[in-house]
Amino acid sequence: MSDIKSIKQRFGIIGVSPLLDRALEKAVQVAPTDISVLVTGESGVGKESIPKIIHALSHRKHNPYIAVNCGAIPEGTIDSELFGHEKGAFTGATGARKGYFEEADAGTIFLDEVGELPLPSQVRLLRVLETGEFIRVGASRANKIDVRVVGATNVGMINAIKNHKFREDLYYRLNTVEIHLPPLRERPSDIHLLFRKFASDFANKYHLPPLRLDDEAVRLLEHYRWPGNIRQLRNLAEQMSVIETTRLVGKEVLKAYLPEVDAPNLPALANSRISDGVSNADFAKEREALYKLLFEMRSELNALKKAVQNGEGFYEGVQREYPQIGAEYTERSSVTPYTGNGSNDVSFVNPDEYDAFDDDTHTIEIENLSLVDKEIELIKKALDKTQGKRKAAAKELGISERTLYRKIKQYNLE
């Protein structure tokens, strides 16, 4: 068996953590076989190194190695990209084309973000793993193939299976051996080693003296959560190498480069969404829409307060328009007349149905809105407006067609 130390030197892996060593040991052990492997771990932990090690130590090392990012390929073309197509299979298919699996014949194919594969493509992948056969898009004849499959994901696969976003049979077929790479926060002894390596690399790249950290800065570095893992640490080292003129960095300087360094070490909402199979991009869009909604509501409530304070009477049936994922929706809210009794409080009908919202010294009650309900309503309206054309509906909503397909399945809007 290859020595772990030599493996680290060969592939540029930094770290002395036992968890990291165990992952590398498993990679070395499974490399001579042809069994499928699933690499798991958070985004930014370096999962792409494991399939390279497996391929380089296998009997396939002189044959092709192809890495495919499944999350970056549009849903409508992913089958063609992976398995190829015949001439005339779809509009624009002017000739036959080999897919990535065919190109990787006798070698290894690495399916990064395999948890993002759409369900029809998962069926095709399962057939490849079980029978070694695939069918090009638009073809009627099956082709045999000999390829080693290594997948990687930062998605919580068990939750994705429960939510019917990933096939259980494919998961157990792909996950013959699981290799888990630990997050950086579970490798505190490796953090400073990695920082020194990155600082040295960027010093050579930009022709500058390497950065160094004092003892307090090192302790801060090792106790930070590192939600972006190694990728975030590398970017930090590059940013500081370029900006900082003093090459010995202290704790206070380092804190300025660490977002939410004083925040409590609590699970992030984004991580829970990822475990459910929702991408960071989708979550960011929904969060942005929510923030915009709250700011719009705050502005309207302030305007309403000023109107009441100025004695302009009452506003019956106020109509509001709020953004939601690239579109607009309309909601009506009934407001009772201002009584003119000297109070600056504005009361809404049925106060038990509303949540309190504090703005400065005034208390105003607003309706408890459901983003899910509004999202379903928007999708239905967009589909009605475009007569069921999903591509046009996705454009109308300002989201990707793939995201719209996922939302339709999620809310049973077929």
**CATH code at position 214:** 1.10.8.60
176 vs 306, higher pLDDT: 176
Who contacts 325 (Cβ-Cβ below 8 Å, separation ≥6)? 285, 286, 289, 375, 378, 397, 398, 399
Same domain for 15 and 116, yes or no, is yes
12 vs 302, higher pLDDT: 12
In the prediction, which pLDDT does 287 show?
Answer: 67
What tokens appear for 101 in the block?
């699996």
The answer to whether 199 and 237 are in contact (CB under 8 A) is: yes
Inside any domain, residue 389: yes
Tally of domains within the chain: 4
Beta partners for residue 179, in sequence order: 39
| Confidence bin at 1 (pLDDT 50/70/90) | very low
Same domain for 169 and 233, yes or no, is no
pLDDT digits (tens, 9 = 90+) for 341-380: 444 443 334 444 434 444 444 443 444 456 777 788 888 8
Decide which of 180, 207, 231 is a domain's last residue: 180
Burial profile 224-236: b = 16 or more Cβ within 10 angstroms, e = fewer: bbbbbbbebbbeb
| Confidence bin at 331 (pLDDT 50/70/90) | very low
pLDDT digits (tens, 9 = 90+) for 217-251: 999 999 999 999 999 999 999 999 999 989 999 99
Biggest alpha carbon distance in the chain? 87
Q: For the ranges 121-130, 162-171, 276-285, 309-318, which has the lowest average pLDDT?
A: 309-318
On the question of pLDDT at 69 being above 50, the answer is: yes
What tokens appear for 184 in the block?
């950086």
Rounded mean pLDDT of 304-332? Answer: 50
3-state secondary structure 72-94: HCCCCCHHHHHHCECCCCCCCCC
In the prediction, which pLDDT does 297 show?
Answer: 76
Same domain for 231 and 327, yes or no, is no
33 vs 300, higher pLDDT: 33
Same domain for 313 and 228, yes or no, is no
* Residues spanned by the domain of 388: 374-410
Distance of CA 101 to the CA centre of its chain: 25
| Confidence bin at 335 (pLDDT 50/70/90) | very low
Same domain for 164 and 88, yes or no, is yes
Tell me the CA end-to-end span of the chain in Å, nearest whole number: 53
CA distance 109 to 58: 13
In the prediction, which pLDDT does 92 show?
Answer: 81
Inside any domain, residue 269: no
Residue 316: Cβ-neighbour burial (10 angstroms; 0-12, 13-18, 19+):
exposed
Work out the percent of the chain whose per-residue pLDDT is above 90. 56
Distances (CA, A) of 135 to 142, 144, 154, 276, 291: 5, 9, 28, 31, 46
pLDDT digits (tens, 9 = 90+) for 74-83: 888 999 999 9
Distances (CA, A) of 235 to 25, 202, 228, 257, 276: 28, 10, 10, 10, 27
Q: By C-alpha distance, which of 28, 8, 44 is closest to 181?
A: 44
On the question of pLDDT at 198 being above 70, the answer is: yes
Same domain for 79 and 162, yes or no, is yes
Same domain for 176 and 211, yes or no, is no
The SS3 call for residue 345 is: coil
Q: For the ranges 33-47, 61-75, 78-92, 384-398, which has the lowest average pLDDT?
A: 384-398
Same domain for 231 and 342, yes or no, is no
Inside any domain, residue 118: yes
What tokens appear for 65 in the block?
């190695």
CATH number of the domain to which 115 belongs: 3.40.50.300
Beta partners for residue 356, in sequence order: 365
Same domain for 54 and 68, yes or no, is yes
Inside any domain, residue 273: no
Q: For the ranges 4-13, 131-140, 300-309, 372-381, which has the lowest average pLDDT?
A: 300-309
pLDDT digits (tens, 9 = 90+) for 262-301: 444 444 444 444 444 445 555 566 666 676 677 677 777 7
CATH number of the domain to which 386 belongs: 1.10.10
